[in-house]
Amino acid sequence: MASTHQLKVQDLFSVKDYVCLVTGGGTGIGLMATQALVANGAKVYITGRRMEVLENAAKSHDLEGGGKIIPVGPCDVTSKSDLEKLVKEIESKEKYLNLLITNAGVSGPKAPPDTSSAPALHNKVWQGESVEEWGSTFKTNVTAVYFSTLAFLPLLQASIGDKFPARSPSVIVISSMSGIMRDSQGHFAYNAAKGATIHLSKLMSAEFEKAQVRVNSIAPGYFPSEMTMKDSDESNKTHMPDEKIKEKGHVPAERPGSDEEMAQAVIFLCKNMYVNGELIAVDGGVLNQVPGR
């Protein structure tokens, strides 16, 4: 039984002394997650394919007197040899890992099915997408999530002990609301891959329960990122105008999600040891408007 003074936010959601890893942690949602963890006391390793981006993220967003952002890599998460090198690099610095966030992803090909003519639809989509692009999209958004998680399972389990209890290590899979809705948005490969990612996170949550490692997923809606806006500023951050969201007509919040809102979801799933195998949509109400599964 907890007394009232034990239920302070700063105690419930502190990640002081946590060691975390975020793939694709240099920009977008990965950087938002990194900032949230660092702001609350964690040491966060960030990795990706572009070291200059990771180093700039650390330089721009490290918190003096708080946690620490540490670039590692470079690492292509679709490569088992790169993942093995990354594990060895972190093992040389740390005895354990408390949290892994699998965030690295790609948008894939786009071919909107916006005609009622079957021949025109066939021509547009057939010419607009390739088997190779589909394979690449699934390789990064699904396969790499699985092998990244598998690679770090031993380090995650190693955190269990006197300092951190059983079920405290966890994985947060960044999926997407696009993996739930029936609207392709012209991104058949991306939406199908994110649907697979969501199911994969549920499979891993059940199977890796044996190792006392929790796996949950966040399905973001429209958040500013380099992937969605094709650009970042000098601090690796991206702006998404409210008008861009309003014109879509299916976002009740009428704006993109904020860094703070993503931070709240990340810290909750990291800290709540009674949550496993869950999917949290942080989407501004889109899934109330767009048909889902």
SS3 195: helix
In 3D space, the residue among 224, 253, 252 whose CA is nearest the CA of residue 240 turns out to be 224
Q: Which of 18, 45, 96, 190 is catalytic?
A: 190
Backbone torsions φ then ψ of 197, nearest 5 degrees:
-60, -40
**Quick check: is 95 catalytic?**
no
**Quick check: is 148 catalytic?**
no
**Quick check: is 170 catalytic?**
no
In 3D space, the residue among 132, 143, 89 whose CA is nearest the CA of residue 108 turns out to be 132
What amino acid occupies position 3?
Answer: S
- Which secondary-structure segment (H or E) carries 170? strand 170-174
Only one residue has tokens 């021509």, namely 123
CB 282, CB 220: distance < 8 Å: yes
Q: Which of 148, 159, 168, 175 is catalytic?
A: 175
SS3 63: coil
Q: Which of 168, 194, 201, 222 is catalytic?
A: 194
Within 8 A by CB and 6+ apart from 169, the residues are 96, 97, 98, 99, 156, 157, 159, 160, 212, 213, 214
Q: Write out the DSSP string of 102-165.
A: E-------------S-HHHHHHHHHHH--HHHHHHHHIIIIIHHHHHHHHHHHHHHTTBTTTB-
Beta sheet of 214-220, edge-to-edge order: 68-72, 43-47, 19-23, 99-102, 170-174, 214-220, 279-282
Which residues participate in catalysis according to the annotation?
175, 190, 194
